[in-house]
Amino acid sequence: MDGQKRLLMYSHDSFGLGHLRRCRTIAHALVERFEDLSVIILSGSAIIGSFDFWPRVDFVRMPGVIKLRNGEYTPQRLHLDIEKTLEIRSAIIQRTAEVFAPHLFLVDKEPLGLRGEVASTLELLRRRGTRCVLGLRDVMDEPANLIEEWRRKEVFPALESLYDEIWVYGLPEIFDPLAEIPGMSRVREKVHFTGYLRRGLPRGAPPPNVIELPEDPFVLVTTGGGGDGADLVDWVISAYEADPDIPYRALLVLGPFMNLDERRRFQDRAARIPKLRTTTFEARIEHLYERAAAVVAMGGYNTFCEILSFDRPALIVPRTTPRREQALRAERAARLGLLRVLHDDGIRDPRRMAAQLRALATWPRPDADRIRRFLTGLDTIAGLAAPWLDGRPAEPALLRFG
């Protein structure tokens, strides 16, 4: 075991796909680069088993937890109180770290984990000499809201005492936490901007239903996990109901976490419109991006990376609650000419959406030179991780990211 290198990753979310997909992308890129590396991803995702994982990447599933509308957490499946569930999760995290003994511990987004569940593991690994890194997406939230949250959770002392480095998976052109979040200047020397995470076609053949897509251009409508995507889907379907002559077909990926009753209503409405198709979940959604003429989405982090990677014109309808992360990213990307934004005014006039869909040919397409400069994340991360995962690096041939 002495010659092996080990990376432990922590992804707190149980609801949604963003954190898990980001961790998986990074894990695959790193095992491609470092031939002696093994990776374990700690996750609470109920559908983590629906994804393919490359050799030397595996996961440990923690009991799922979901956030209620009032901001409180509750177990996703277990009939236990939240404190007992968090105690189990914390024990799984710490015991996995003790036995796996990682050279590098990469925590995604939540510096102390869900309700502080990763703090004791960070302290343990720091004592052992493990390199501890916090990975942050480009935009977390409106700065004022994030500062209040981080002060309440006592995050700033943790950034100083528990982490060796902070990797921001973006570039300051979109959001610069050092300039926009008071308090981050204290850890300035730890912060590295990596750029965005390039996506490509995954290994293996595409699923059969992807092959059967029509040859004529279609718009990919994606809501990510779908738990908060009903408004966007309703708006797009309403546009086709109001204007049957929209010249493009659309494929709506509703998301595995969309409310079942809402999903069925959307499926019924879409089935009556010849130009619409629906699917619930695509683990290899990259194949859909490759075939799509354009994308309509809410604009989460992974979606933004995919829009850039596949060079697709995009219309973003960002969510603004409970966080303004998507809106901030979309507005700043639009100013750079990377995409178009349509804000949800609460009325969602079908004619507004139909007009946008008809104007698809005029949507901005990401600039090729800018894309190359933006999509440096996986190479930069490999370089930052190399001192701890070097072993015997594989030849940096053309990487394939799934």
* Confidence (pLDDT) at 17: 74
Q: What is the pLDDT of residues 187-240, one digit of tens each?
A: 999 999 999 999 998 876 565 555 467 678 899 999 988 888 999 999 999 999
Q: What is the pLDDT of residues 157-170, one digit of tens each?
A: 999 999 999 999 99
The CATH class for the domain spanning 5-198+375-389 reads alpha beta
Q: What is the pLDDT of residues 374-399, one digit of tens each?
A: 999 999 999 999 999 985 544 443 33
Give the Cα separation of 196 and 180 in Å (integer). 19
The CATH class for the domain spanning 208-367 reads alpha beta
255 dihedral zone (left: phi>0; alpha: psi -120 to 50; beta): left
> Which structure tokens are listed for 364?
């901005």
pLDDT at 81 over 80: yes
* Confidence (pLDDT) at 56: 97
For 253, the enclosing helix (H) or strand (E) is: strand 249-253
Give the Cα separation of 64 and 104 in Å (integer). 25
pLDDT at 360 over 80: yes
For residues 129 and 315, the answer to whether their CB atoms sit within 8 Å is: no
Q: What is the pLDDT of residues 15-24, one digit of tens each?
A: 667 788 999 9
For residues 401 and 286, the answer to whether their CB atoms sit within 8 Å is: no
pLDDT at 315 over 50: yes
> What are the boundaries of each domain within the chain?
5-198+375-389, 208-367
Closest to 314 in 3D by CA, of 221, 213, 198, 216: 221
High-pLDDT (> 90) share of the chain, % = 74
Q: What is the pLDDT of residues 26-44, one digit of tens each?
A: 999 999 999 999 999 999 8
* Confidence (pLDDT) at 396: 42
- What mean pLDDT is predicted for residues 98-117? 96
For residues 38 and 9, the answer to whether their CB atoms sit within 8 Å is: no
* Confidence (pLDDT) at 216: 82
Domain pair 5-198+375-389 / 208-367, same fold: yes
pLDDT at 341 over 70: yes
Band the pLDDT of 183: cuts 50, 70, 90: confident
What is the Cα Rg of the chain in Å? 21
